[in-house]
Structure 1
Amino acid sequence: MHALIMGQSILKVGLEHCKNLEDIRSAIREYAKTNTTVPRISCRGWMHSMTPDGVNSAMLDDLDPLGRPIFVDTKDLHSTWCSTTAVKELDIQTTPDPVGGKIHRDADGNPTGLLEEAGVFTIVWPHIARVASLEERAAAIRSAVEAYNTVGYTGLIDMAMDEDIWEALQKLISDDPNIPMRFAAYWLIKPSATEAEHLKQVERAAELAAQFNATKSPGCRVVGIKIICDGIIDSCTASLKEPYSSNGASTDAIWTKPQLLPVVRKADSLGLQVALHAIGDATIKMAIDVIEECVTPTRRPRIEHLELSSPEDAARLGRLGITASIQPVHSDPAILRAWPRLIGEHRCGRAFAYREFADGGAPLALGSDAPTAPHAPLANMYVATTRRSAREPGPDGPAAFNEHFALGLCESVVAGTKGAAYSTFAETWSGGLQAGMKADFVVCDMEWEKEKLLAAKVSETWFGGRRVYGA
């Protein structure tokens, strides 16, 4: 998950209900009309399938009479669509494409308003963090903590930690040492022009980990590094072994293997865990190859997402002790309607192969990647166990997606508790109900049946022996 962005997203205009461009425009126009004091308009939940003909700034420019900057995030956070005033605020007219990212431009070289991949997390994210005060950023993280407590969380694994977020998190903890959440952070290694710049980022993560660890700071730890190796299938930026069916294009990974190896090797030598974002089958193979070559198995390396894997690579995870860090809410059939067109029916049959990961002996850690997807764990487990839609449930909803890859209910609960704790070396004090462990637990009003998980409710959340949420 992403603590700061999650907190900020709570206040953003939700576009999840939109079906097309006109729906999006209507939602933003209505928000602008009734929220005249906010300095900029930020939106979440846009999907490329809502705008199949593409997007540009002009589509947003007439929606706010006050002319405020408008930023629209895709649900996966890998693309941002900006109004003309937002583009000007970003000051990217002459900015070259960042390594591993793209600033889309027209025939005259002017930004069209769409930024992708590293363009988002090296340009947009830092800008949004900078224009918010330290107090506002800390308050956003507090809002995220409250939202997570409400649905039963007592621990969070932040997968894109950087200086701006870290500063805000430390401010929050300093102001409220009893904040009811335990944080484990992976430092985001951003693509840079040189290996030296990459290694400097790893050294910064190690510096923080030496100070903030299970011994010195168990409630807030830096445990490793995170590298976003490719994009996503919905925007055709995930790296696949075969071209995309929709456009015949082949997309390179954000990081090449020669770029990854020294960074991962350095992190391992400094005692850091390695987390690699890999969605496409080509990137998944590369990530496993890199881990096999230079990561100590006892470091518990992990791969995030694993959305389109080959049978051979699915089997390798367990053999190499690689944690499969999965987000079942990303496999909700309601958000996969474009996949047959994008990658073909034949490859859809390989998507989200959780059953193979488990059967191959891979440790499973179940999360949400919020705010890229809904953060409630019970709905997440519903999708994991039924492969049906939590977004559009019922007989009129979409058909189950790859039911043969479903997990069992017990497997899913363990993956979301003990498995998540194991993935960050916290299993001796968290992730289970045993004498001597932290009294972090949740009380649910539910029946132990996967089909009834959407009706299940969190009644109470307890953190360190005190109740922090009660329905």
Structure 2
Amino acid sequence: MPQRRISSRNLFSNMYSRLPFFPFICLLLSVTASDLSFRKVTKPSTMPTVLHNGHVFVAASDEGPDYFASAIILDVSTGKITYVGDETDATVVEAMAAPGAVLHDIQGRVTGASLQKLNLRTRKNLREIQDAIRVYAAQHPELPRILCQGWFHPSTDGNELASQLDGLDVDGKDRPVYVDADDMHSSWLNTAALDELGVADMADPPGGRIRRGTDGKPSGVMEETAASNIVWPFLESKLTAEEKQQHVQAALDAYVAVGYTGVVDMAMGEEDWAALQKYRQKYGELPIWVAAHWLVFPRTSPEETLQQVDRAIELHTRYNNATSQEFHITGIKIICDGVVDACTAALQQPYSHNNQTVAPMWTPEALAPVLQRADAAGLQIAMHAIGDAAIKLAIDGLEAVGNPSGRHRIEHLETTAPEDVPRLGALGITASVQPVHLDPAGMTAWERLLGKARCGHVFPYAAFAEHGAPLALGSDAPTAPYNPLANLYIATTRRSAMDRNSTVQTTPQYALTLAAAVAAATRGSARSCFAEDRVGQLRVGWEADLVLVDMAWDAEMLLDARVAETWIKGNQIYTAA
């Protein structure tokens, strides 16, 4: 029997990520498609594989504690785990004594596009942004447009203008420039981009805003659905079918390289669905499984809005967790508000710096029929809510639906009012949270925008858990870096992964233990999409999806840890160089 000594490595089961498959949105990524391949794979041995002499993290059932084992056996023929326990057990000793060899096979869209966009995440002010774009434009004269990502709102302090992105091109060119905010809720365009979009005569879409100057002309920034429903579809239309497939492949490669074995997609739409289906038709299946939420926007009429829900129901009828575990529609996604840094998060009290209040994108009257129709059809409801007013809207809406067994969920929950914290557990609402957003280095404007008092109870993860809310921990790509180990570090230390020298903490009273954070990222995420009966735990009979991590079991050491291998259904599909 093939056996494998894993030394001091730790094994985590089924790391998950909220990763929307937008073919035109990008992430900061250092892995290229050529580094990995899912198709150039030697046919694996059908003999079981033993991994031992390490720490096997076992996220146990809700009735039992988390613990460590020292050995695990993977059956490649079934893709299942056949043993988890002590390597001195007679069964394991006998298995390891059998003939075999160490298995050394090196196997191995949104995300792929990151390789084609300029990352501005580290640029601290307007001049640095302009200089970076100027250099990038000179280096890429062949590009029809200059596409950027990672613009951090505090770096420009809300004073962005199209003219600031004009004149950065070379050789007399005036190419369109598109800059996505790091939170992906706004796009900043130069004059050429505004002109080619033809936004001057457009009305603000429901749930969005085209920023305008005192003369009534677009000034350069497209907020919320003005970005997602105008800018992004336009750029999508400029991609070839081949480019879309390249983006799919690069995204999948990137996910397994950091230890994800499944994806909960929170922004599925027609173009993304078609691209992924084409990939499946070509290669047979996806290398990791995808549970997708169909994105539903407020439209000009209730009928148009509900048509989106009906489309999700149609797809769910054919592609669901019972008929297509590897790739299915699990629910719908509602965006209730924006983000704090752009001052588009919906708050119950005004922003501290300008005394302005922002309302949620949906009214309760518009939201109710959407939630009722989705729930009645067996769809899971996921709701983006960051500001406390949006969070209250989401909780009230799900309370009216009245179906705790639906495992409906609220994403982010960044500024939850204290009185609403216990309501999640009482109503069976999953708290789906992304620790990367509480990195202190990314919150430099929050005290000015919200005031010290409100900042004192943001991101209350431990309080959610204490009051019985199911916790699911993930990333928020492409709005933020998606390395799960850095995510775990922030969740447990409440310190910065971007600035390792900083000792600043974000509401440390709400920190999770390392075991609780890993369990929320594995078992909790699997449970959140009804997959806990097959993945999310290293358990006999469960799918052999796991990641080997070189690390010490210490939250303080997580930033030095690295993913060494990713295994899916008993096959090693990624190994670090």
Q: TM-score, normalised by structure 1?
A: 0.98
Secondary structure at the aligned position of 1:206 is classed as helix
User: Could you tell me how far 1:53 is from its partner in structure 2?
Assistant: 5.1
Alignment partners' CA distance in 1, 2:439 and 2:284: 37
Alignment partners' CA distance in 2, 1:355 and 1:391: 23
**Number of aligned residue pairs:** 469
Match of 2:376 in 1: 269
Alignment partners' CA distance in 2, 1:221 and 1:55: 40
Structure having the larger proportion of residues in helix = 1
Q: Give the alignment of 1:237-386 within 5 angstroms.
A: 237-386=344-493
Give a deviation string over 1:384-421, Cα, whole Å, max 9, x none: 00000001112xx2511110011110111011111111
Match of 2:296 in 1: 189
Secondary structure at the aligned position of 1:3 is classed as coil
Secondary structure at the aligned position of 1:260 is classed as helix
2:565 is the alignment partner of 1:460: yes
Alignment partners' CA distance in 1, 2:253 and 2:202: 38
Amino acid of the structure 1 residue aligned with 2:327: C
The 8 Å contact of residues 446 and 455 in structure 2, kept in 1 or not, is answered as: yes
2:189 is the alignment partner of 1:171: no
Match of 1:3 in 2: 21
Match of 1:43 in 2: 148
Within the candidate set 57, 81, 89, 2:162 is matched to 57
Match of 1:132 in 2: 239
Secondary structure at the aligned position of 2:539 is classed as coil
The runs of 5 or more residues in structure 1 that have no matched partner are: none
User: Could you tell me how far 1:167 is from its partner in structure 2?
Assistant: 0.9
Q: Give the alignment of 1:33-112 within 5 angstroms.
A: 33-52=138-157, 54-65=159-170, 66-112=173-219
Give a deviation string over 1:214-242, Cα, whole Å, max 9, x none: 22211101000000000111111111111
The 8 Å contact of residues 135 and 168 in structure 1, kept in 2 or not, is answered as: no
Match of 1:440 in 2: 545
Within the candidate set 414, 418, 421, 2:526 is matched to 421
Amino acid of the structure 1 residue aligned with 2:468: G
2:39 is the alignment partner of 1:21: no
Secondary structure at the aligned position of 2:504 is classed as coil
The 8 Å contact of residues 264 and 295 in structure 1, kept in 2 or not, is answered as: no
Secondary structure at the aligned position of 2:432 is classed as strand
Amino acid of the structure 2 residue aligned with 1:235: A
Alignment partners' CA distance in 2, 1:400 and 1:429: 36
The 8 Å contact of residues 334 and 398 in structure 1, kept in 2 or not, is answered as: no
The 8 Å contact of residues 321 and 363 in structure 1, kept in 2 or not, is answered as: yes
Give a deviation string over 1:173-198, Cα, whole Å, max 9, x none: 21222431111100000110111111
Alignment partners' CA distance in 1, 2:276 and 2:197: 25
2:407 is the alignment partner of 1:389: no
Alignment partners' CA distance in 2, 1:315 and 1:220: 33
Amino acid of the structure 2 residue aligned with 1:58: S
Q: Could you say if the C-alpha distance between residues 132 and 407 of structure 1 is closer, same or farther in structure 2, counting changes exceeding 3 Å?
A: same
Match of 2:9 in 1: none
Amino acid of the structure 2 residue aligned with 1:318: G
Q: Which moved more, 1:198-207 or 1:85-94?
A: 85-94
Alignment partners' CA distance in 2, 1:20 and 1:360: 41
Amino acid of the structure 1 residue aligned with 2:401: C
Amino acid of the structure 1 residue aligned with 2:387: G
The 8 Å contact of residues 382 and 453 in structure 1, kept in 2 or not, is answered as: yes
Kindly, what percent of the aligned residue pairs are identical?
48
Amino acid of the structure 2 residue aligned with 1:37: E
Give a deviation string over 1:79-128, Cα, whole Å, max 9, x none: 10001111122221211000010001122222111000111111112112
Match of 2:315 in 1: 208
| Structure whose alpha-carbon radius of gyration is higher | 2
User: Could you tell me how far 1:295 is from its partner in structure 2?
Assistant: 4.1
Amino acid of the structure 1 residue aligned with 2:517: S
Q: Which moved more, 1:176-185 or 1:314-323?
A: 176-185
The 8 Å contact of residues 158 and 342 in structure 2, kept in 1 or not, is answered as: no
Secondary structure at the aligned position of 1:49 is classed as helix
Give a deviation string over 1:135-186, Cα, whole Å, max 9, x none: 2122212111111111001111111111111111111121222431111100
Give a deviation string over 1:200-226, Cα, whole Å, max 9, x none: 110000000111112221110100000
Q: Give the alignment of 1:143-182 within 5 angstroms.
A: 143-182=250-289
Alignment partners' CA distance in 2, 1:258 and 1:410: 41
Match of 2:100 in 1: none
CA RMSD of aligned residues (A): 1.1
User: Could you tell me how far 1:297 is from its partner in structure 2?
Assistant: 1.0
Alignment partners' CA distance in 1, 2:506 and 2:558: 17
Alignment partners' CA distance in 1, 2:325 and 2:563: 26
Q: Could you say if the C-alpha distance between residues 398 and 117 of structure 1 is closer, same or farther in structure 2, counting changes exceeding 3 Å?
A: farther
Alignment partners' CA distance in 2, 1:196 and 1:307: 32
User: Could you tell me how far 1:11 is from its partner in structure 2?
Assistant: 2.4
Amino acid of the structure 1 residue aligned with 2:21: A
Match of 2:508 in 1: 403
The 8 Å contact of residues 265 and 295 in structure 1, kept in 2 or not, is answered as: no
Amino acid of the structure 2 residue aligned with 1:156: V
Amino acid of the structure 2 residue aligned with 1:280: G
Amino acid of the structure 2 residue aligned with 1:371: P
Amino acid of the structure 1 residue aligned with 2:138: K
User: Could you tell me how far 1:466 is from its partner in structure 2?
Assistant: 1.2
The 8 Å contact of residues 46 and 73 in structure 1, kept in 2 or not, is answered as: yes
Runs of 4+ in structure 1 off by over 6 angstroms are none
The 8 Å contact of residues 286 and 326 in structure 2, kept in 1 or not, is answered as: no
Within the candidate set 339, 346, 357, 1:232 is matched to 339
2:449 is the alignment partner of 1:431: no
The 8 Å contact of residues 130 and 164 in structure 1, kept in 2 or not, is answered as: no
The 8 Å contact of residues 382 and 390 in structure 1, kept in 2 or not, is answered as: yes
Alignment partners' CA distance in 1, 2:180 and 2:543: 37
